[in-house]
Amino acid sequence: MRATIRVYWRLLVAGFRRQSAYLMAAFGGLVANTTFGLLKVAVLFATVRAAGGELEGYDVALMSTYIWVSQGLLGSVNLFGRIDIADRIKDGDVAVDFLRPLDVQAAAITTEVGRSLFNLIPRGIPSVLIGGLVVGMALPDHPTAYLLGAVSIVLGITVSAATVYLMVAAPGFWLVETRGLQILYMVVSGFLAGLFVPIWIFPTWLEVVAQATPFPSMLMYPVDIISGRVDVSGALLLLAVQLAWLAGVGAVGQALTRAGRRHLEVQGG
């Protein structure tokens, strides 16, 4: 058991170190996060003020927190549908992965989480600090929000990696090309995760649709918890929802991986 944990820990660290090689890309992402954050400030602040100063519980300060935390998480939460294992499945290299004494799904997700955690350092945290200093934002009243928010962010990152594996990578065992799935995932995930506007200002029917998917667990719920929009009991409920989605998505992904292994055919010479 300890040996297995040690192996996955090394995969996590390897993903972290691998991503640390792309510092200029991270800086470019920070610039993009800040630029689009300022654009969202202009649009969403105007929306709140047009609604009389409050919109579904969001005043200007809380909306600012939503904007900058969500922008900060953009580089870590996988809303773009890219994952290395998808290419390995397409090329047939995954056959080698199946020969290793590791779970293919767990190894892919762990490596992806390591890469995403690194992005919080040069891209995520600075985005939030810049937004807070330039525009200002609301801070949670209780310090517990920071601890629960950190746990929720890690869960959100893991849910996003597991969902990309399930929706984009795993179908590659049966499909010749998965780029269409990746584009579809990118379009749907950002909207339903609450990247553009909080899902709580959606029409009721669309809010219900969003909450029936794992996407809010990737971004909206972590933002709600760390911003203090929900109290401790509400935060614990959202954490439970995140855990439930992680378990469900992981289980379905595991089933597809096993079925895909039986279906896999690799030709070469």
In a domain, 180, yes or no: yes
Cα-to-chain-centroid distance, residue 77: 2
Residue 10 CB: number of other CB atoms within 10 A?
12
Residue among 58, 67, 52 at smallest CA distance from 201: 58
Tokens linked to 153: 């962010």
> Taking the model in full, what pTM does it have?
0.95
In a domain, 222, yes or no: yes
Q: Is the pLDDT of residue 266 over 60?
A: no
For the chain, the domain total comes to 1
In a domain, 129, yes or no: yes
User: CA 64 to CA 89: how far, in whole Å?
Assistant: 41
User: CA 215 to CA 219: how far, in whole Å?
Assistant: 7
In a domain, 269, yes or no: no
Range of the domain at 206: 2-263
3-state SS assignment for residue 10: helix
Residue 235 CB: number of other CB atoms within 10 A?
26
**pLDDT by residue (tens digit) across 99-151?**
888 899 999 999 999 999 999 999 999 999 999 999 999 988 888 999 999 99
**pLDDT by residue (tens digit) across 187-212?**
999 999 999 999 999 999 999 999 99
In a domain, 268, yes or no: no
Span 18-45, mean pLDDT? Answer: 93
In a domain, 33, yes or no: yes
